[in-house]
Structure 1
Amino acid sequence: MMDISLLVLRLGIGIMFAAHGLQKAFGMFGGSGVQEFSKMLGGMGFPAPIMWAYLAAYVELLGGIALVFGIFPRLSSGLLLILIVVAAVKVHMKNGFFMMSGGFEYNFVIASVCIALLVAGAGKFSIYNKY
């Protein structure tokens, strides 16, 4: 049952991150694309915002895909955890906890799943455990 639970967590969080990565990298699913995302980061005071925009977009996209298939699950979870914590601190924390007011509630849940996968690994149903 634990392996099925890990598969469900990996699929859920992996698909979510991959979809957000596609929004940021290519403007898919109503996203703004990397240039607009870079402008947003620049407005928040990030140095070299275009570099951070590409890095965030591709960590989300590739990290999400890696989790779906169970490839390097701890590395992927760790990188995605860093990304979501930065988003919480730089964007959402000033708005309090609850999502309805723009708070970090959503980030907290996502970070919790990343930590669980970081600790537990991919489980039996993954490419990582096949080789």
Structure 2
Amino acid sequence: MLLRLSVAFIFLAHAIIRVTGGTVVRFGEYLNNKGFVYGTPLVWGVTVYEVLGGVLLAFGIFTKWLSAGFIGIITLGIVIIHLENGWFVGEHGAGGCEYSFLLIIALMVIAAADKKK
């Protein structure tokens, strides 16, 4: 439960700072520059998913489905953002994919621990 709550908090925090920090449009423009046609609506979709999914994940509702969706979002983030920055995030690099990889593993553990059918 602690892992599930922690991961849910991470997604909620990312969504909240994206909205309150006013970076939705900027991130949407970044995606447009990467070849996406509707970057800003896509970012809003991800943000809403992070808020609703984060709350539901915290309560243990639809855990497997939400984890799969979050894994998809993170995987896309690795491909379009983090992979080109290498593996490391902190001391030995910037913007790499190690943190995203850890979130994917955490979501797999959360989904596997869900005994609901």
- Using the size of structure 1 for normalisation, the TM-score is 0.78
- Using the size of structure 2 for normalisation, the TM-score is 0.87
**Structure 1: segments with no counterpart, 5+ residues:** 1-6
Give the RMSD, CA atoms, in angstroms: 1.8
Which letter does structure 2 place at the counterpart of 1:32?
A: G
By relative contact order (CA 8 Å, sep 6+), the higher-ranking structure is 1
Deviations 1:21-74 (A, max 9, x none): 1122x22xxx33422221222222222112211111111111111111111111
Identity of aligned residues (%): 30
CA distance in 2 between counterparts of 1:58 and 1:99 reads: 25
Report the CA distance between 1:118 and its aligned residue. 2.0
**Runs of 4+ in structure 1 displaced over 3 angstroms?**
none
CA distance in 2 between counterparts of 1:86 and 1:45 reads: 13
User: Which residue of 1 is the match for residue 13 of structure 2?
Assistant: 19
Q: 1:55 aligns with which of 27, 34, 45?
A: 45
Give 3-state SS (helix, strand or coil) of 1:99's partner. Answer: coil
Q: 2:62 aligns with which of 58, 69, 72?
A: 72
Q: 1:10 aligns with which of 4, 10, 19?
A: 4
**Structure 2: segments with no counterpart, 5+ residues:** none
User: Which residue of 1 is the match for residue 98 of structure 2?
Assistant: 105
